[in-house]
Structure 1
Amino acid sequence: MLDNQPRGTICIEDIEIGMSRDLWKTVTDRDIELFAEVSTDRNPVHLDDNYAQDTIFEGRIAHGMLTAGLISAVIGEQLPGHGSVYMGQSLKFMAPVRPGDRVHTIVTVTAIDNARRRVTLETRCSVGDTVVLKGEALVLAPSRKFD
């Protein structure tokens, strides 16, 4: 289940510091299974209840990069949106995401370099009041001058 803001493009000429966009997604068993298949990361902590029970997580968790992919969704679909080019991303994994968790992903503009069309974004994912992932992204934003 995905709840999010309208998709499209915000050009560099219209981006402002403090602007943000977000989405909500409930991570399902199917999401985890599909991510394992696509990524080929079949670590049993993600897929095997019995194995995962005996780990520090005491149960199955979603792949960290599955959660990070939600940041990519906000950047590629909303802010700046279509035409964005990801240039870099730092990530700090703070807590696990479990099957059934509803993840809130928010991306906020912290700096703009209009001359180079680069936008720096604070990136954050939370489950309830718990921050599960935080970082910073650098993207090349689309421009009306290049339409």
Structure 2
Amino acid sequence: MSTQEPTQNPLPRVGETAQMSRTVTETDVVLFAGVTGDMNPAHMDAVAAAAGPFGGRVAHGMLTAGLVSAVLAMRLPGPGTIYLTQSLRFVRPVRIGDTVTARVEVVEVMERRRRVRLATTATNQDGETVLDGEAVVMVPAAG
């Protein structure tokens, strides 16, 4: 009987990137509001939102941030990733019908603790930044 050391998932390298895109729909906004309880008229009420600062309804900022979470969990570092911190700055509103591309880039690898710091951004279909920030995640060891 041989004993093997558990294998480690490789850590990403500085400069690696990943992204994914999604077109934000009415259904996305309604479901997000239902799940979170955030029924702010800026998201849900066209008449009230028209009189607001954006001149119409906008998607929840955290819905956009959730797209960043999806990139981290599914692409880089990938399944099993554990979020530790996230800073966010909402730069522009996201409207229903906008196609948002969430992107992450590895800026630091902390090998000893299997932590990775990433720049996190999201842009709309016009290439305008709608969100930026930074995340620190834990990369899982292989089973």
Moved over 3 A (4+): none
Whether 1:63 aligns to 2:60 is yes
Greater radius of gyration (CA): 2
1:80 corresponds in structure 2 to: 77
Distance 1:105 1:75 in 2: 10
1:4 corresponds in structure 2 to: none
TM-score, reference length from structure 1: 0.89
75-84 or 31-40: bigger deviation: 75-84
Distance 2:75 2:35 in 1: 24
Distance 2:11 2:38 in 1: 39
Matches within 5 A, 1:1-147: 11=9, 13-127=10-124, 128-144=126-142, 147=143
The SS at the match of 2:77 is: coil
The unaligned stretches of length 5 or more in structure 1 are 1-9
2:4 corresponds in structure 1 to: none
Shift of 1:14: 4.1
Q: Between Structure 1 and Structure 2, how many residues are aligned?
A: 135
Aligned-residue RMSD, C-alpha: 1.2
The SS at the match of 1:38 is: helix
TM-score, reference length from structure 2: 0.91
